[in-house]
Amino acid sequence: SEYCWPCCWPCWCCRIFWGPGRQCRRDRRLLFAWVLGLGLLAGPAGRIDCVGDLREVNLVPADLRRAEAELREVWGDLRGRALAFARGLDLEAALTANERLYERLRREFSAAEIVSLAPVLPGLEAQRENRRRWRTFWSPERLAGLHRELARLGAEFGFAADAFQPFFTALTQAPPPLTREFWARAGFSDLLEVLLAEGPDQVTLLSLVPDRPGLPALIPEAGPASALYLVSPQAFSAEVSAVIAADLKRFIGLALLSVGLILLLLLRHLGQALLALLPVLAGLLTMFGGMGALGLSFNLFNLVAVILLIGLGVDYGIFMVYRLYHGRRASTERAVLVSGLTTLAGFGVLVLARHPALHSIGLTVLLGVGGALPTVLWVLPALQRRLAAARS
């Protein structure tokens, strides 16, 4: 049984890993362990994601975290809210748009979760409709019946006959119109200044709602050219994350393509070019798999480390391929080892950084170079020996 299952004849793969006469057991074990390790890392590598929220990589001191926790306990999670704007050419148009916005938001949120002027400052048309419904509800027959019932109950409990007259007077009198001036006189001028902004050619009203992934679907027509406009940090973060993920794939593809073409022009041998690229591929898989296993994500900062790893890994591969195939000095291994260790030491200290962005850069390079360096020093020579044995 010189060949691995399910092969029954000496295929190319079996001749590399086993070879005739079971020679070089040490190389076979090394290659098997390397392939097994990369295979185990392939699963977590598929779980890695990209984060577009820059707040995730900001350094927040402990005292500031405590202050933010106290602020959330008293005022709620203000940082976790989305901004919804209703705009119009004048105040009445803006109030009408704000009412429409509030109706949309009430489909998803309770009234307590929404900070809006719509319930207390509707448009004049809405106020007229509310007064009409009020008068329809408090018809003379309903008022007379309520008056008789209160008079009967009041006599039983010793109330004067005209004790409820102010109440009935308030029901029949027309309420004052709800205007900005009305609420300013009532002591809400500071709140109006925050939620209502009047410009020379536009009036804007601001509403605050909890930021949720499905929020933009509630206002599909919101946009720069619409009377409604939505600013959702979660939606923005998701968009940035998608851009980072797309750029990451594009950068890796272009970098590998460019490096591969240069290697073919330099080495003029497809097999040697693939061997020189092997440390890059192993380093990338180790980086992605390690980050996926640790629950880490890519961001705008450690994205640069991927391109850096491709450049470093292919350099190590070129040095070792020239050492193996072109008879360069035996001290190449030592030079590559020292170069890799200095890179690990230089970037490795960033793992100790308190700033999340610097920490992510250091950890990303540490994982990538940590996967590429053993591939260069041990796997490439073993694979070259097995390839030579397979050809013989």
* Residue pLDDT, tens place only, 150-164: 889 988 888 888 888
Q: What's the rounded mean pLDDT across residues 73-93?
A: 82
Q: Are 228 and 222 in contact (CB under 8 A)?
A: yes
Confidence of residue 9 (pLDDT cuts 50, 70, 90): very low
Give residue 287's pLDDT.
94
Q: 158: which residues sit within 8 A by CB, 6+ positions away?
A: none
Residue 14 has pLDDT above 60, yes or no: no
Give residue 6's pLDDT.
41
Q: What's the rounded mean pLDDT across residues 126-134?
A: 89
Give residue 257's pLDDT.
93
Residue 94 has pLDDT above 60, yes or no: yes
- 207 DSSP β-pair partners: 84
Give residue 74's pLDDT.
64
d(Cα 353, Cα 355) in Å, to the nearest integer? 5
Q: What's the rounded mean pLDDT across residues 128-147?
A: 89
Mean pLDDT of the chain: 84
**pTM of the predicted structure, to 2 decimals:** 0.70
String of DSSP letters for 133-170 = HHHHHS-HHHHHHHHHHHHHHHHHTT--TTTTHHHHHH
Q: What's the rounded mean pLDDT across residues 166-195?
A: 86
Residue 4 has pLDDT above 60, yes or no: no
Give residue 162's pLDDT.
86
* Residue pLDDT, tens place only, 318-371: 989 988 887 766 678 888 888 888 888 888 888 888 888 888 889 999 999 999
String of DSSP letters for 34-103 = HHHHHHHHHHHHTT--B---GGGGS---HHHHHHHHHHHHHH--STTEEEEEEEESSHHHHHHHHHHHHH
Top-confidence residue, 10 or 127: 127
Give residue 328's pLDDT.
61
